């Protein structure tokens, strides 16, 4: 997009951040545009045109990202109620804004003239729009790579339970949901027990010192009796 310097720089920076090169630079530019005034105007096909705002692409991106997360949920055989959590956490506005700002995507957003600060809502919408643009431009595999790259698939439910099916397999789980949920709960219980064990060990170590200093209270196996001689 050398014909539109303002958007060209932003598109190049966005591509570098998400590790994906768009075939349609205009699609990426639209994903980054929040302006509806003169700042949205650029030269396309030899004429001045207003770049559409990214809110429609954001709606599509939200749906596309949810669809990919749902496929991971199916492939891992997770229980039905786990989908509510998996659908809510990665795609929440707070998380999307945090991910976007953490990777520097807020620097790529084109805003209205006079707007000096990028809000968290703008960033969340832009991230959704970028995901939508990637899905339209490169398909589901491209979307999966970008989401993985941005960390939008890093969730406890997905990391605790290994995938039961390969990416290109039919969407039919080979794992009974009850079994997979049992594995998930077992891992959680093991972690809790480990933490409790560490706490008890620290407590016993703390209490052992005063008892060693008073051998008439407790026999620590040093050859002395547990009661002081009269």
pLDDT digits (tens, 9 = 90+) for 98-149: 999 999 999 999 999 888 899 999 999 999 999 999 999 999 999 999 999 9
pLDDT digits (tens, 9 = 90+) for 58-80: 999 999 999 998 888 888 888 88
- Chain centre to alpha carbon of residue 106: 17
Q: What are the residues whose beta carbons fall under 8 Å from the beta carbon of 99, sequence distance 6 or more?
A: 127, 150, 151, 152
Report how many helices (DSSP H) and strands (DSSP E) the chain contains, helices first.
Answer: 8, 2
HSE (CB half, 13 Å, CA atoms) of 50?
A: 10
Contacts of 82-90 with CB under 8 Å at 24 or more apart are 82/157, 82/181, 85/157, 86/155, 86/157, 86/158, 89/155, 90/65, 90/152, 90/153, 90/154, 90/155
């Amino acid at each position: 997009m050398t014909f539109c310097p303002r958007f060209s720089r932003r598109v190049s920076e966005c591509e570098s951040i998400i590790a994906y090169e768009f075939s349609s630079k205009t699609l990426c530019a639209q994903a980054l545009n929040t302006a509806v005034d003169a700042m949205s105007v650029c030269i396309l096909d030899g004429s001045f045109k207003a770049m559409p705002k990214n809110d429609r692409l954001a709606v599509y991106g939200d749906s596309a990202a949810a669809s990919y997360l749902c496929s991971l949920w199916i492939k891992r055989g997770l229980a039905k109620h786990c989908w509510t959590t998996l659908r809510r956490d990665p795609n929440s506005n707070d998380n999307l804004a945090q991910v976007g700002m953490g990777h520097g995507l807020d620097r790529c957003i084109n805003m209205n003239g006079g707007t000096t600060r990028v809000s968290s809502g703008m960033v969340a919408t832009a991230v959704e729009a970028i995901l939508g643009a990637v899905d339209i431009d490169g398909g589901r595999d491209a979307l999966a790579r970008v989401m993985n790259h941005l960390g939008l698939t890093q969730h406890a439910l997905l990391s605790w339970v290994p995938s039961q099916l390969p990416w290109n397999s039919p969407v039919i789980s080979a794992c009974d949901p009850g079994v997979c949920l049992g594995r998930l709960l077992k891992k959680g219980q093991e972690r809790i027990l480990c933490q409790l064990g560490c706490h008890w060990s620290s407590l016993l170590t703390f209490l052992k010192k005063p008892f060693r200093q008073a051998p008439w209270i407790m026999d620590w196996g040093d050859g002395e009796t547990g009661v002081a001689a009269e």
